[in-house]
Amino acid sequence: MQLLASYTEGCWHTPTEAQEELRDPIHGTVLAGLNASGLDLHAAYHYARTVGGPALRSLSYAKRAELLQAAVEILKPNRPRYFEIAQKNSGTTEADSAVDIDGGIYTLAWYAHQGKTLTGNTLLLDGSSDSLAKDDSFATQHIRVSSQGLALLINAFNFPSWGLWEKAAAALLSGMPIVVKPASATAWLSYAMLKDVLEADIFPAGAISLVTGRPDGLLDHLEALDLVSFTGSADTAEQLRQHPLIRSGAVRLNAETDSINSAILCPDASVDSIQALAKEVRNELRSKSGQKCTAIRRIFVPTKRLEEVATACCAALAKIVVGDPSHSHVTMGSLASYSQYQTVQQQLASLDSYLEPVFDGRLQLSIQAPAGHACLAPVLYSAAACPHDPRVHDTEVFGPVATLVPYDSVDELSALVRLGGGSLVASLYADTKEQALPLINRLAEQHGRLHIVCPGSKHTGHGNVMPQSLHGGPGRAGGGAELGGLRALHFYHNLCAIQAPADMLAALSQKS
């Protein structure tokens, strides 16, 4: 069995035995073993802060951007190997693997490009200066300076590539050393990509550390000015918030968590908009087998259109072929692990007690995979009998599962959407701006992103996260913020107002 090593203090640490096993979710075979129980995290974190941090911050933003681009050039030629790992470890089709692998490389390259536009060497100006004196001789200028701790990146199992690089790009560009903790179930891909970059010796010593497995006291050795960027469940995020270092405010936490995202058909939308919605529902339940924090979970439709929308969605879902992704005709692979499969089955049993399945892949589709697989075909429910039941808006099944929810007025729609408690994204299907614009203000305060689709228009997809746009959301979605262009760097910087004579601020601007 291959044992995946950790990388700290500039050295690889290979365990002698496995504490956890990675398995192929299709065939059940053991792929690799993990064990981080013996790591000295105190020493690892100290090395990152005292060696990696100063070395990174001695470089300009533009120079750090060059390092990101160099990493891109290392990753690109190895894509075929990464795709092979993803298929075996995550059970993903080639298309779904591309979302993760190519999405991660694209995001890293995008930040490399944006970083080259930053003129600052040691700090970034935040806006222009403002006078504090009648004669303009004394003024204030806000600046952002890199935090001088480390960034602990705790990633989710569903995106072992993209989840890694979308955090790492912003942190490294900001001048912060990173300690990467991939989710154990799919850690092989994160490990392989980081190993290639580390062995290319692109970044300064201590800039990147990797913890493969589940060590003791992951947060216990953090210090004031360290940062934690987390992606995962709302329950785990709440546990992190209760850690003494985070609760006291010594360590800052950015959390991007699961949420009950929506697809919304506007009142009086056309048949073309219904077809566009049905297509996107199919895409979202098929992509990564519905294992995306941005996936559609609730589908809001006018009551009078419920049957029409249900019919269109069922027709679209029936086209999905579920099974072993090594077969070219299969369009949807498995859940990430058999453990995840068991969890989803338990959640479906709960939903069956109060919702009506209108498309039940468990009965209608033959799954083309061997016995013991972790495949699950899509299930679409209707909440026609209980649209206001809190469980409809609170229970997320992290798999290919969504629920149709009828509404009778815009006021009712807004109230129902709010029951989700804050979400990462909602997509709005409208024919005209007159249909869409009145809903934007009502929906924006509940979401991190609104995705508006009109018939025939080009769009990036409901669940696709682009580095140019914010990834985060209020309330249940975690309250955090990632990406959003260069805004992603804000979390890794401290904001400070400099009050000084105007000529000194002018010099500061010239030497930043």
Q: Catalytic amino acids?
A: 256, 293
Q: Which of 360, 361, 368 is nearest to 323 (CA)?
A: 368
Long-range contacts of 386-393 (CB under 8 A, 24+ apart): 386/354, 386/355, 387/416, 388/416, 388/419, 389/354, 390/419, 391/354, 392/298, 392/355, 392/419, 393/260, 393/298, 393/419, 393/420, 393/421
Question: What CA–CA distance (Å, rounded) separates 504 from 194?
Answer: 43
Alpha helices in 303-377 (DSSP H): 306-317, 338-351, 361-364
Q: Which amino acid is at 160?
A: P
Question: What CA–CA distance (Å, rounded) separates 423 from 477?
Answer: 5
Question: What CA–CA distance (Å, rounded) separates 501 from 512?
Answer: 16
Query: What DSSP letter does each residue of 406-464 carry, written as one string?
Result: EESSHHHHHHHHHTT-SEEEEEEE-SSHHHHHHHHHHHHTTEEEEEEE-TT-----TT-
Question: What CA–CA distance (Å, rounded) separates 135 from 345?
Answer: 70
Largest distance between two CA atoms of the chain:
80
